[in-house]
Structure 1
């Protein structure tokens, strides 16, 4: 028997992963849910996924799935059960509530068949967490929610219309999903106070950081810039990912207005894309580009001079952008226009691959970009910390191993010598 055949720790275990986002989505939470489910299927588990119709980050249902109410498909050994739901083209508290309610209703009415041995939920989705908790309680099996975003805090901090009223409702749903969980995974330690405030014993919280789900860049930078039409003598500031309210991307539009000599590229999609286009007006030094193909995504990131991550000043402890793992892989310096006390700032500081500026301050952001663009050697040196940080802490192998330890512990199979962050609680204490 080969080593690969011997090491199948979850052989014949029946696992249910609940995640509103899943492949073919290539940004945000989808890739993590996908790689996790496929990893466990490869480890011998009979893995099912309950998910929605692909819609992120465009907030439009993928044309291949339009008009479909329910479907089952097999992807890389995983049985994927999709349920139709409402997709709001613009964000408000009411529209978001309708989105969550439609996911919840259809998911509860038509869960995947069979009794799982454990249920794992990805929780930026309130509905997904509630569905997973209900299924786990019905079958009396472990529930392991993984907190990627705190939606109660998000409603209060993101600036969404009606968010203040929605925050209490969202927090109540999170409390229902989390309080009865066997273990709770968090992707960053900055989430621990918020999760604890929802009634979760800190001894049941485990740190399971996101890993980088993209490959390192391989193409020649100059060739990529030429293909994209980026002049060598024009600094390029690039933001990749979702264009939503919490990102506060108007700061990049204002930077472009202040600095016609800098090219600002907003690559991605989201419900604020149209609003940002209107705000940009006739500016000629700002580009709105579709998401890059997976094959050359990191090559495009690496071709930029500086990578931007921005958040509204009010965003503190509800989100750590998944884009950071891809940014770090690219080897380019990051300028983070975010609150200094939040988890995003802490991750940038920890990586050593970027610099922090005050949020919602285009002048401060511009000064940092000019400093890096004016000293390419220093910019290269700063950016080089990113791949090293990924290799030490954010590899796919390390990330999946943490989830293996988390699942094994929940199933009562954890080994005393388990060597992973998941074998310790979020404060670094050995698990009980």
Structure 2
């Protein structure tokens, strides 16, 4: 596997890459991962890896080959290009030392990871299978970062290079299929492999967790968990907190916009910023909230489905999605029956829906109960990993190793 993100990263793509690789290893396969240095979502290298140039690790039976790269604390087109370029360069000049594999799977993004995986598979003459978690070309065009349009053009070329060379292409949501076709992939080579809920169900006492976090028993708490980047458009939650002191808004996680958001929310007493929760406490914190928020900027028509959404469903709380109605997130929320949609970047519309949910405990409870049912029916880890296995086996012509 080639995946820039990998354990100990606990957000975004990292947990999916880790669970796939560890599943292969536990099934008896000699599993190798070419990965970067842990840095997400803080966009800061994990202190345990400071100064590390290259490292080979054994993590739960998986051999992980790490290569150093730049990590931009602030996003610009130039910095992102340097990030991808250093991943590509270091991976190309120092590929993993290992015997010829049976297949190569790539997690995309990153762009560099897709190109590296395509090159390695070509060198080894084995099937190459990228799984599209997101497309950087579209994301760059909608990111709002300086130089985004040029970055989008370059990213689309790299994505086309990586995807057109694939034996099969996996996409995590059907909304990606047309985008992948537009990059030069024949529709008969595209397979749907949805992500799964990679977390356990909450087990802690909800009242005790709220008390530990300082949330009053009768106070409505709206929680956003995950990356705090430009794409998320989290200013809407800060502004919503400013307009209604009775509702507590909590932003839990990290990202390159966190400092900006903290400055924007300075002096708002009902706005909290929390560090990412420990793995053993994460689901209990989600379940302790009253509403779980997922937001995106109004200019973003995002085909991807944020990894946080599967965790939200498993937490059993209603989801409030402030996103474009045509995107992948909105489609998944509607499909689950576990949440409601509001127009993005509209604090009054968001607050209106929060108050409606607070005034209708039965309706909010029904939405919350729908989430775990959706997970059990469609998003189990076993089903997700089986789909990945089937994708690899099909690419290998049904040959079992």
Query: Into which bin does the TM-score normalised by the smaller protein fall?
Result: over 0.9
Aligned to 1:51, which of 6, 18, 35?
35
Instruction: Give 1:163's match in structure 2, choosing from 116, 124, 148.
Output: 148
Is 1:120 the equivalent of 2:98? Answer: no
Does structure 2 retain, via aligned residues, the 8 Å contact 1:339–1:345? yes
Q: 2:63 aligns with which of 73, 79, 96?
A: 79
Structure 2 counterpart of 1:143, from 104, 128, 132: 128
Which residue matches 2:46? 62
- Which stretch shifts more, 156-165 or 364-373? 156-165
1:293 aligns with 2:278: yes
Which of 372, 379, 390 is equivalent to 2:357? 372
What's the RMSD between the two structures over aligned residues? 1.0
For residues 318-367 of structure 1, the C-alpha deviation after alignment (integer angstroms, 9 at most, x for no partner) is 42111000000000000000000001100000000000000111111111
Distance in 1, matches of 2:79 and 2:245, equals 37
Is contact 2:254-2:275 (8 Å) kept? yes
Counterpart residue number, 1:12: none
Cross-structure match for 1:239: 224
Moved more, 366-375 or 80-89: 366-375
**d(CA) in 1 for partners of 2:41, 2:52:** 19
Match of 2:344 in 1: 359
Query: Using the alignment, how far apart are the partners of 1:320 and 1:414 within structure 2?
Result: 31
Cα distance per residue 1:223-250 (max 9 Å; x no partner)? 1111111001211000000000100000
Question: How far apart in 2 are the matches of 1:224 and 1:279?
Answer: 27
Partners of 1:153 and 1:318 in 2: how far apart?
A: 9
1:341 and 1:101 map into 2 onto residues whose CA distance is 33
Q: How far off its partner does 1:316 sit?
A: 1.7
Gaps of at least 5 residues in structure 1 are 1-16, 416-432
CA apart distance, 1:110: 0.7
Match of 1:9 in 2: none
SS at the partner of 1:46? coil
Structure 1 residue aligned with 2:170: 185
Mind listing any 5+ residue stretches in structure 2 that lack a counterpart? none
Give secondary structure in 1 for the equivalent of 2:223. strand
1:111 aligns with 2:95: yes
2:81 maps to 97
| Rounded Cα–Cα distance in structure 1 between residues aligned with 2:24 and 2:299 | 37
Secondary structure of the residue aligned to 2:393 is helix
Q: 1:319 aligns with which of 295, 304, 307?
A: 304
1:31 is matched with: 15
Deviation at 1:414, TM superposition (A): 6.8
1:280 equivalenced with 2:265 (yes/no) = yes
From the superposition, tell whether residues 414 and 350 of structure 1 become closer, same or farther in structure 2 (CA, over 3 Å).
farther
Q: Distance in 2 between matches of 1:361 and 1:192?
A: 30
Normalising by structure 2, what TM-score?
0.98
Provide the residue aligned with 2:237 in structure 1: 252
Q: Report what 1:201 is aligned to.
A: 186
Question: Is 1:84–1:106's contact at 8 Å kept on the other side of the alignment?
Answer: yes
1:257 offset after TM fit, Å?
0.8
Cα pair 2:43 2:255 within 8 Å, conserved:
yes
